[in-house]
Structure formats: C-alpha cells, structure tokens
Chain A
Amino acid sequence: MLPYLARRAVWLSVYLVFVLAPVLALLLGDLPPTRGFWTEFSSAIAYVGLAMMGLQFGLTARFRYVTEPWGEDVIYHFHRLLSLLALGLVIAHPIILFAIDPARLRLLNFFQAPPVARWAALSTYSLIALVAMSLWRVQLRIRYEIWHSMHILLAVVAIVAGIIHMIGWGFYLVDPEKRALWIGLSIFWICLLLYVRIVKPLFIMRRPYVVTEVRQERGDSWTLVMRPHRHSGFRFTPGQFGWLTIWGGPFKITGHPFSFSSSAEVADGRVEMTIRNLGDLTSKISEVPAGRRVYIDGPYGAFTIGNPADMHVLIAGGVGITPMMSMIRTLADRGDKRPVVLIYGSNDWESITFRETLEAIKTRLDLRVVHVLLSPPVDWEGEKGFINAEIMMRHLPPPYRDHEYFICGPNPMMDAIERALGEMHVPLAKYHSERYSFV
C-alpha cells in the first residue's frame, strides 16, 4: 500500500483529470467556428464548474480508499469550499457573456428567455440556493434532515439543468462523440449518488447491529454497546468513527457520525459509541431500548494511532474524549508500555465523562491524566480555564516535537490547540486532529 502522501497526490491528480480532461477533450476533432478569447474562457469555466459540481457526489460517497489519506473532515471541508468555487465559475460564465454583449441581459427575463437560457437559470439558481442553505442552515432554522434532502435534490437539479443547457446550446456538443462524453459523465455522477443512497445502504442493511446495553456516563453522555447481528462485524483502528443510524433503516437520508469509544482489540466485533446529549437527535440516545437493531457505516477517519512515537499526547475537550478513550483502552489491551499523557478539558469535576474509568485503567498502562476545568471546585489545585501552550509545557517533557499529538474537541478549542502546538514548534506531521462537527 502506498504511503498517505503518495495516495493524496494520486487522488488529487485523479480529481483534476476528471475535472479537466472532459473540457480539454472539447478541443479534439471537428471544431465549431472560433469565438473571442473571453467567450471561449467563459464556456470553459462553465464546463469546469459543471464537472466540479458532478464530482461533489464522489467526494461525499465515503469511498474509504479515497478518504483514508485525508480524513473525513478534510474531505467535507474540501467539498464545502469546492461548491463555492464551482458556484463562482458558474456565475462568472454569464457575467463575462453579459460584459461582452450587454444585449444578452434580456436572457435574464426568465419568462421571455428561450428554453436553453431558462435551463441555465434553473441550474444557477439551484446552485445558489444549495450553497446558501448550506452556509446559513442554522440561521435559517432548517432541520438537518430536511436540509440534507433539499441539498441532494438541488444538486441533481443543478447538474441535470446544466447539462440540458449545454446540450441545448449545442456548439461544442453538436459533435455526437463530445455530446455522448458529457451525457455519460452526467450519468456517472448520478450513479455516484445512487451508489451512496441505494447500493451502499443495501450492503449496510445486510450487516445490522443490535444494541445490548445503554450505559449512562458522566457529562450527560450515554454509551451505546452494540454487537454485530449474524455477522462478524468489522475491525477498526482506535480514533476512527462510524455513521450510526438508530431510527429507521440504512436508506434513511441521514446517519450521524460518532467515534468509537471501545477498544479495537475486542474479539467479538462489539463496538461502543459514547454520545453526549447536545439537544438534537442525541437527546434521545437514553431512550434507545436494548435489543434495538441499528446500522453502522464504518469505520472511517484518519485520526488514528500507529505512527512511531516515544509518547502519545491526547488532548481532549468535552465529548472529544471518546476517540481518546478508544486509543487508551486499545493501548492497555495491547500491553503498550509507552507513556500516554491525556490533557482533558471539562466544564466541571462532576461532568468529566469516563472520570472513574480513566482512574481504573491507569494500572494497565503508563497513563497520566491532566484535568483542566473551566468551573473548578473552590479547593481545586489542578489546571483551570482552557487548555493552552503553558499548560501543555507544564505537563510534557521536552523536546515537544518528538511526541505524537492527538486533538479532539469543539472547533474553537481545536483552533487554539493547533495554534499552541505551532508556538511549541511541533511540526504539522506530528499532530493529528479530526473535527467531529464537519456535517
């Protein structure tokens, strides 16, 4: 297997080939009459924009071999930013054409414009709505499940309307081979969507899990213990996560990503996920009955131990402890004697999830836990406030660049820790972080 860096380069090249090759293929064979530079440029960016939009289905298709070298959070952030880029390209296309010939502005009149221009408008407006709903979903108070359905629908409309506009306009696509290429591409993009929404759920449906226990933890959190039902389960690496569907089957539009909190060394395929009540779907975890059939799509994520390290430094905030707990349990089960330092930020002493479990497991590995409390009790002599460079330097032996760092917690905490590690001159390759709020 190629190293992650090489696989990243391969996938980036594959992505660019899929975006650019169909556009450059338009230059082959018989060509229509030449137009001005800016007209040709505006056409090229529209084709590129459409190809990027289509490939967005592939980016979120959870192909493990593609996402593994990056981490799911990077892929989703890439997906989000790419939609802005694709939108920019698609909108720039008519703006350039209007600037060349302002008489074309009449095409903006949806009711009087020819059908070919209406399809373009439908595609562009769908894309604008899709991006706006994604950027301001919370402010617009759109429920996640509704947003997700609308997101898929608008994406399909944007792509189908875009390709109809291009075929209707003709020009390069008058050539039957080029037309077949772009229609084939559109079918490929839609197939990616069908794979995610139909083929993959079929596989997941054949490998259900059964909830055997729902355990209350400190910090308004609950641990779901799940066993594979009539199959052997899957192997995961500590730090990875799965998409969990509790209510409804795997065809339901939305699964939710949760880290595994159990040891990866468990032989019977049992997995545990520890979930904090954040007021949304997570508020109903405590009501899940034992015996309930659930579905897990996983494992995913590049936030895993396995690199050579003299010491593992785990930095967790709140429910970000869950992947760390999986790492600690796995290291204990493996009899790993390397030192582990857990710097763990919580709101107060009573809400420290896994407080007792961490104390108990200390006998099985070289683990030191540094609790950092936001609201400490009056007699607290430990660390207070937010985790920062000073706290880390107080509890870690230099040279700091030799340790392997893992960070998981709320976004502002992750940003602060990443900055602090930069101040401590820890190279980027030595620290790993995965944000769990990427959806």
Chain B
Amino acid sequence: MRRLLAERLVLATGVIVILMSALFAYLRTST
C-alpha cells in the first residue's frame, strides 16, 4: 500500500510535468 502511495505520486508527477511541458510548447507557439 505504501508502494502504491509512491506509485500514485510518480503518476501524478508525470501527468503534471507532461501537461506543463505541453503548456510550455503551446505558450511558445501561440504568441
């Protein structure tokens, strides 16, 4: 269960950093 906590944290981190990278690219190309 504690491993599950770490796995969820990494999954959440992965989703956030990929979305933020997409936002970075969007902001760069939309202006």
Q: Which residues of B contact A75 (CB under 8 A)?
A: 6
Q: Which of A16, A24, A37, A41 contacts B16 (CB 8 A)?
A: A16
Interface members, chain B 9-31 (any A CB < 8 Å): 9-10, 13-14, 16-18, 20-22, 24-29, 31
- Among the 9-residue stretches A77-85, A114-122, A154-162, A289-297, the one with 4 or more Cβ atoms under 8 Å from chain B is A77-85
Inter-chain CA distance A73–B3, complex, in Å, is 8
Q: Is the CB of A52 within 8 A of B17?
A: yes
A–B Cβ pairs within 8 angstroms, 26 of them = A16-B13, A16-B16, A19-B17, A20-B17, A23-B20, A23-B24, A27-B24, A35-B28, A35-B29, A37-B29, A40-B24, A41-B21, A41-B22, A44-B25, A45-B17, A48-B20, A48-B21, A70-B5, A71-B2, A73-B2, A73-B3, A74-B2, A78-B6, A81-B6, A431-B1, A433-B2
Inter-chain CA distance A82–B17, complex, in Å, is 12
Q: Do A81 and B28 contact each other (CB < 8 Å), given the known contacts A16-B16, A44-B21? A: no
Q: What is the interface residue range for chain A against chain B?
A: 35 or more
A12 touches B (CB below 8 Å): yes
Q: Which residues of A contact B10 (CB under 8 A)?
A: 78, 81-82, 85
Q: Is the CB of B25 within 8 A of A38?
A: yes
Q: Which residues of A contact B14 (CB under 8 A)?
A: 85
Q: Which of A27, A48, A77 contacts B27 (CB 8 A)?
A: A27
Q: Which of A26, A31, A82 contacts B13 (CB 8 A)?
A: A82
Q: Which residues of A contact B22 (CB under 8 A)?
A: 41, 44
A202 touches B (CB below 8 Å): no
A418 touches B (CB below 8 Å): yes
Inter-chain CA distance A406–B7, complex, in Å, is 21
Q: Is the CB of A40 within 8 A of B25?
A: yes
A435 touches B (CB below 8 Å): yes
Considering only CB atoms, which chain A residue lies closest to B3 in the complex? A77
Q: Is the CB of A45 within 8 A of B21?
A: yes
Q: Do A48 and B17 contact each other (CB < 8 Å), given the known contacts A23-B24, A85-B10, A433-B2? A: yes
Q: Which residues of B contact A16 (CB under 8 A)?
A: 13, 16-17
A275 touches B (CB below 8 Å): no
A309 touches B (CB below 8 Å): no
Task: For the complex formed, measure the closest distance between the CB of B16 and the CB atoms of chain A, giving whole angstroms.
Answer: 6
